[in-house]
Amino acid sequence: MASKPRNERRQFLQKAGLGAALTGIASTLSTPIWAKTIPQELTATLPAGMRQPGSEFSNYGQPSTHEQGVIRWISANSAASGNGVSWTPLHDLQGTITPNGLHYERHHNGVPAIDPAQHQLLIDGLVNQPLSFDIKSLLRYPMQSRTCFIECGGNSNSGWRTNPIQTQAGYAHGLVSNSEWTGIPVKLLLQEAGIKPEAKWVIAEGADGASLNISMPLEKLMDDALLALYQNGERLRPENGYPLRLVLPGWEGILNVKWLRQLRLTDQPLMSRDETAQYTELQTDGKARQFTFLMEAKSLITSPSLGMMLPDNPATYQVTGLAWSGRGKITRVEVSADGGETWLDAELQGPILAKAFTRFNLPWHWQGEYAILQSRATDETGYVQPTRETLLDNRGKHGFFHYNAIVSWEITEEGDINHVYGF
Amino acid sequence: MSMVSKLLFLIISLSVYSSSYAEPDYQPLGNPAAELSESPQWNLSISTDGQGLPVGQGIASQGAKIFAIQCAGCHGPAGIGASAEPLMGEVGSLASEYPEKTVNSYWPYASSLFDYIRRAMPINAPFSLTADEVYALCAYILNSDGIISADFELNEQTLPQVTMPNRDGFIAIYPDNHSLLRTHK
């Protein structure tokens, strides 16, 4: 199994005529450079950074000034600047961990300024003993780390539109990010309060300007949910829920309540605005899907993608992207260069973690022909990422949430890249 | 302690720890909070049967005045077609070619409307409205599509009795159909 894709890739490259390019690596081996004396006048041509001391230490490092274009893209309500989203620039990133400052944001009414000394978490409702916790106490509990993605239910929702949006990959699909979250298994605190047998749901509430409240199954909180205090090793950023948030691996972003202040156990869901009016998917027959918590398997080629171009040909380009599934591990990502006619297995970069970003790579030899690049993810349950046509056949065109169809990048003969809908 | 007894101590400590591996060893630090749990600040959520509703009342004509001042700026004078989400009109549009998800066409419960206005609206000053004002706004919005009559007083008793037009419009995917769309090649 492991060697078969490799052979296929080799064939793909040979078919595409890469053989000649690979044999061109011939170097001129002459006298080693260190055997020569560098004339004094040449040292003046060395980079400035080699001829003077560098800048001082910093208390908290920042990206290079040359990378200032790598930013979250903000789309906020013009009348309420704290209501909106900011998108992770997936097209500018590599690896699988999203830098904390680039983790996507969805705020319903801005980022609250919370003094951790004043913050409390209340666990009440159908428990034997309502309990409150301060942050200092929570920091003394045993912690676990979990690398997982969080994806907004509304990610990629431009895909429902009739015409393909011409936006960079991250700014259309980057309401998803991947972090190592560290915190307390929610189960520990619920057990401390004592769960009554009739409890089935939990209403979580945030301490933000929307006092966001939403119901979630107790079963999930008892399974793998974390009360996260740390993100990628440091305390949560304010925009990611400081001082504490819920993390429900693989389930839609809205449930991962930030600035968490209360967990109330109940026997039925609340039917709050964000579980009825929003984060539900209207179908063609006028009925809406509700409690669609799982984020299904999805993948996306992040490079090459819209906003880039292929500068020359024939040449080899490294097709790379991300795949993830709320059900578990990604087991396969296939890449097509002909709009889905033929597919090749991409190499999956390890370690492959359940409910986390998996990076895939496949070298592609391009000779200037018209192409449509696509990726298709499969997860360990056998679920295969659908085509847009299949998704719309199943869900209609007004679902708005949970768009996970295959993304297609058109490569023109000039090397320009456009977003198109697949065939 | 001698080296041997130190070692013994370590082995004993570790074995005690590992025997309780399934339930990690930690000190419970929660504070009893029965009183806190009863206080209004920690009872913001309103259930579909009205639990959590504060005492108060309002009718549509009172709500119209508040709406013009507090809401129309973002939601539009008619409660639809402005920068904020549509609230009124379009009842019955959900199965059409151009469905519009307004409060009156889409929301299944009136309790959610009170819950949401009180906690989140107006967006520049959440919790600034009195209970009477929130009841009045709910009455105004619901009356605009005839869900309640103009003189119907909304209060903590009557609001949960309102039946929204789209009450039966939702299909719960969790837990039974959590995998409705499965595609195989």
Residue A49 lies in a domain: no
Do residue A181 and residue A227 come from a single domain?
A: yes
If phi over 0 gives left and psi between -120 and 50 gives alpha, with beta otherwise, what is residue A228? Answer: beta
* Amino acid present at A29: L
Shortest alpha-carbon distance between residue B126 and chain A (Å): 7
Give Cα separations from A63 to A71, A104, A174, B86 (angstroms). 11, 17, 20, 41
Do residue A315 and residue A277 come from a single domain?
A: no
| Sign of the alpha-carbon dihedral angle for A292, A294, A299, A302 | positive
* A147: CATH: 3.90.420.10
Residue A401 lies in a domain: yes
- Cα three-residue angle A141-A145-A148, rounded to 5 degrees: 140
In DSSP terms, B163 is beta-bridged to none
Do A417 and A409 meet the contact criterion of CB atoms below 8 Å apart? yes
Q: Which is nearest to B138 in space by CA: B80, B64, B72, B83?
A: B64
Q: Give the pLDDT of residue A422.
A: 77
Do A146 and A230 meet the contact criterion of CB atoms below 8 Å apart? no
**Phi and psi for B35 in degrees, rounded to 5?**
-70, -45
Q: Does A144 touch chain B (CB under 8 A)?
A: no
* Amino acid present at B89: G
| A291 to B26: CB separation less than 8 angstroms, yes or no | no
Length of chain B in terms of residues written? 185
What is the value of ipTM here, to two decimals? 0.88
Average pLDDT, chain A: 92
Shortest alpha-carbon distance between residue A186 and chain B (Å): 13
Do residue A203 and residue A308 come from a single domain?
A: no
The pLDDT tens digits for A210-261 are: 999 999 999 999 999 999 999 999 999 999 999 999 999 999 999 999 999 9
Do residue A246 and residue A372 come from a single domain?
A: no
Question: Chains A and B: how many Cβ contacts under 8 Å?
Answer: 181
| A213 to B37: CB separation less than 8 angstroms, yes or no | no
SS3 state at B52: coil
- C-alpha span between A182 and A161 (Å, rounded): 37
Structural domains in chain B, CATH included, are 55-161 (1.10.760.10)
pLDDT at B13 over 60: no
The pLDDT tens digits for A229-240 are: 999 999 999 999
Shortest alpha-carbon distance between residue B104 and chain A (Å): 10
Which residues in chain B are closer than 8 Å to A77, comparing Cβ atoms? 83-84
| B112 to A124: CB separation less than 8 angstroms, yes or no | no
Q: Does A21 touch chain B (CB under 8 A)?
A: no
Q: Give the pLDDT of residue B25.
A: 87
Q: Last residue of some domain: A254, A289, A324?
A: A289
Do residue A246 and residue A355 come from a single domain?
A: no
Which residues in chain A are closer than 8 Å to B40, comparing Cβ atoms? none
Closest by Cβ to B171, choosing from A133, A290, A394: A290
Q: Last residue of some domain: A239, A272, A289?
A: A289
Do A372 and A411 meet the contact criterion of CB atoms below 8 Å apart? yes
pLDDT averages per 10-residue partition of chain A, 423 residues: 43 43 46 63 86 96 97 93 96 98 98 98 98 98 98 97 97 98 98 98 98 98 98 98 98 98 98 98 96 97 97 97 98 97 98 98 97 98 96 94 98 98 77
Parent domain of A238: 100-289
Q: Give the pLDDT of residue B184.
A: 38
Q: Does A210 touch chain B (CB under 8 A)?
A: yes
Nearest residue of B to residue A78, measured between CA atoms? B83
Q: Give the pLDDT of residue B22.
A: 54
Residue A209 lies in a domain: yes
Do residue A213 and residue A264 come from a single domain?
A: yes
Q: Give the pLDDT of residue A41.
A: 75
Residue A323 lies in a domain: yes
Residue A94 lies in a domain: no
Do residue A380 and residue A320 come from a single domain?
A: yes
Residue A394 lies in a domain: yes
- Cα three-residue angle A198-A204-A210, rounded to 5 degrees: 145
Do residue A216 and residue A330 come from a single domain?
A: no
Do residue A258 and residue A205 come from a single domain?
A: yes
Chain center to CA of A204? 23
Nearest residue of A to residue B182, measured between CA atoms? A383
Residue A89 lies in a domain: no
Q: Which is nearest to B103 in space by CA: B85, B123, B84, B78?
A: B85
- C-alpha span between B97 and B86 (Å, rounded): 17
Shortest alpha-carbon distance between residue A378 and chain B (Å): 9
Closest by Cβ to A211, choosing from B44, B84, B85: B44
pTM of the full structure:
0.90
- C-alpha span between A275 and A203 (Å, rounded): 11
SS3 state at A226: strand
Do residue A112 and residue A164 come from a single domain?
A: yes
Do residue A269 and residue A303 come from a single domain?
A: no
Do residue A271 and residue A415 come from a single domain?
A: no
Tally of domains within chain A: 2
* A374: CATH: 2.60.40.650
Residue A416 lies in a domain: yes
| Sign of the alpha-carbon dihedral angle for A240, A241, A244, A246 | negative
The pLDDT tens digits for B125-170 are: 999 999 999 999 999 999 999 999 999 999 999 999 999 999 999 9
Q: Last residue of some domain: A270, A289, A308?
A: A289
